[in-house]
Amino acid sequence: MGILTRLRAWGRWKITSRLRSVADVPERLPQRHAILVGGIDFDKWLVFECPCRRGHRVVLNLDLGRWPSWRIASAIPLTIQPSVDEESSVGRCHYFVRKGRVRWIERTNK
Ligand SMILES: [Zn+2]
């Protein structure tokens, strides 16, 4: 990764590492760090802590053969398509991640 790419991604969401298995992802991830899980030539999951900071993990399926699936348009800074819309134990979290920034659509409490 070049220095200019790093500077441009400073303080923004980005993919910081690539692992072979979801089991290898650390229990705690820093905010704005996303982990790509997959093999040498395929992406399987994108894992990160939800930007709502209420302590729940987001695991997005990147396998287009399964529904729903997401596409990584850019890794550094991170752009994900389409938006993430999740109902979890804390409530609803609906947001876009574009150019490493989160734009909230809706955030509700349970
Ligand atoms: Zn959340």
Separation of CA 106 and ligand 1 centre (Å): 10
Separation of CA 4 and ligand 1 centre (Å): 31
The conformational region for residue 58 under phi > 0 = left, psi -120 to 50 = alpha, else beta, is: beta
Using DSSP, state whether 104 is helix, strand or coil.
strand
Q: How confident is the model at residue 17, as a pLDDT? A: 94
pLDDT surpassing 70 at residue 1: no
pTM for this model (two decimals): 0.92
How many domains in the chain? 1
| pLDDT bucket at 46, cuts 50 / 70 / 90 | very high
Decide: 5 and 100 in contact? Cβ < 8 Å: no
Residues paired with residue 59 on neighbouring β-strands, in sequence order: 47
Decide: 102 and 95 in contact? Cβ < 8 Å: yes
Using DSSP, state whether 65 is helix, strand or coil.
coil
Q: Which domain holds residue 8?
A: 3-109
Residue 69: which of 57, 78, 60, 58 has the closest Cα? 60
Separation of CA 52 and ligand 1 centre (Å): 4
**DSSP H or E segment with residue 8:** helix 3-8
Separation of CA 50 and ligand 1 centre (Å): 5
| pLDDT bucket at 4, cuts 50 / 70 / 90 | confident
Q: How confident is the model at residue 12, as a pLDDT? A: 96
DSSP letter for 23, please.
G
Separation of CA 39 and ligand 1 centre (Å): 27
